[in-house]
Amino acid sequence: MTTLDIVEETKEASGLKRDPDWWRGAVIYQIYPRSFADSNGDGIGDIPGITERLPYIADLGVDAIWISPFMKSPMDDFGYDVSDYRQVDPMFGTLDDIKVLIDKAHELGLRVLMDQVISHTSDQHAWFTQSRQSKDNPKADWYVWADAKPDGTPPNNWLSVFGGSAWQWDTRRMQYYLHNFLRSQPDLNFHNAEVQDAVLEETRFWLDLGIDGFRLDTANFYFHDKELRDNPPLSPDMELSSARPNNPYSFQQHIYDKSRPENIAFLERLRALMEEYEDRTTVGEIGADDESAALIAQYTEQGTRLHMAYSFDLLVNEPTPDYIRSKVGKLERIVETGWPSWAMSNHDVVRTMSRLPEGTDKALAAPLLLAVNTCLRGSPCIYQGEELGFTEVDVPFEHLQDPYGIEFWPEFKGRDGCRTPMAWDDTANGGFSTATPWLPVAPEHIAMNAERQQREPSSALNRSSAFLKWRRQQTALVKGSSHFVDLDAGVLALTRSHEGQTILCVFNISSDAVTLPLPAPYTNWRHLSADGFASSHDGTSLMLSAWQAAFFIQPEDGKNG
């Protein structure tokens, strides 16, 4: 019996149903391991800590977890700089700990996704250590190396996301190497077939171990322009989805340093590998300028490339009805056979609750925005603490850990504010750790901790959980097609349809109550009682209090009266 056979038998015994389409509409809960739960009292979250808290996640009503990087790393970028793809960093535990976590998750009906960071490695990875030794060693061409210009300057104008040139001089090879992020994160050369083979084998290792899928970090950064052509300056009429105005990286159109057409063939190789295994999936992170929807369409072409992908479209700005409809509508028009994944918060951006108007009741807003995210066509991601209504934390400079924030302080404070530890209870450090945490636990988060919210029936946590469990029973909200509906009062409205079932969803994304007429054909649709939300209607008008939602289902005979 092979390792793969054992993995599949274990899944069947755990009660997980064989379903190659399980990921479509699945709710994915993102875990930032450093900040989730510390089991050994060193101030840093770990794998056993996650395992202990899996019942909490399962009870929330989600379908899968995505764990941010836990592979061996010097932690210059907190795990996104991998030095060994087949080892768990001792900070987080061991391979055996991961196996225990996977088994426990499967017992609870949860799939397990992990971050796979293959566009670059750490400069401490054995591949790079060998590559930088000479221009003719077996791995000399495994990274992106280039000669200096005659005047000693870098080979082109490419910039790093984290500031400065994307090129770093290496005195051993007397050449520059490319790094799209930190200088300790050299980019792999995907034009080299051996590199592709190697990263696919590293991916296979985790598939054999039982991982259910991958969140692919910077999935459009794998290839670079072989001619190393300069990027053109930013066009004034371009709409940017993720750039920061105080970062020179925003001044360029990134048409040569990422999103290259050669990426398509590699994604097809990756998909072929995934298809060798039962019920596995991929979700790609697309960090692009104004072309993210087009890239998602290309990268998720049905059955041939990524299963799904997400952009930063809903991870920035205030999530108003007009903004959501604009961004989601654009993607819906372009992505035909593919499948998106939506997120409003993650480990890289300001938390959603802190992008809302001052004075917003977070306990009301958090469940409503979670419902919006999970009712859009796609597979939604929820970031740890989002279900509790956590806000961005103002981490003082002396406590900053994020090199990105340290570089651009004070106009940009980095990503530490969304990465502070979870608050589980009223004990010291919010029950996260018995030691001083690697980042401070916010007092405001302790005041709204998970244990306290579990005791309050109307808390953000209980309302979010009730809704997710209700949504799971509505097939149209999980797998259905989507169509926006024009209603009054600035609400967001859409229908989801699947196999004869159509549900109208209406969201009041504001702190004001609204009353709006229900136009034909919806006046005769049956009002659904959605757990976690309350609304009223008199047959012709719908009344929604602040941050509330309403749901209606089309009559089974399809007649609208």
Catalytic residues, by residue number, are 217, 276
Cα 80 to Cα 125: distance, rounded to the nearest angstrom: 12
Size of the chain, expressed as the number of residues it contains = 561
SS3 sequence, 464-475? HHHHHHHHHCCH
Which H or E run includes 515?
strand 514-517
* Cα end-to-end distance, the chain, whole Å: 60
**Burial status of residue 150 (CB atoms within 10 A of its CB: 0-12, 13-18, 19 or more):** exposed
How many angstroms separate the CA atoms of 96 and 98, rounded? 5
88 Rama sector, left if φ>0, alpha if ψ -120 to 50, beta otherwise = beta
* 3-state SS, residue 72: strand
Sort 18 into a burial class: Cβ within 10 Å, 0-12 / 13-18 / 19+: exposed
Calculate ∠ Cα 519-520-522, nearest 5°.
85
Place of tokens 């008199």: 538
**517 CB-near residues (< 8 Å, 6+ apart):** 488, 540, 541, 542
Measured distance CA(52)–CA(102) in Å, rounded:
12
162 is written with which tokens? 């984290």
Q: Give Cα separations from 496 to 20, 347, 476, 502 (angstroms).
A: 22, 29, 5, 6
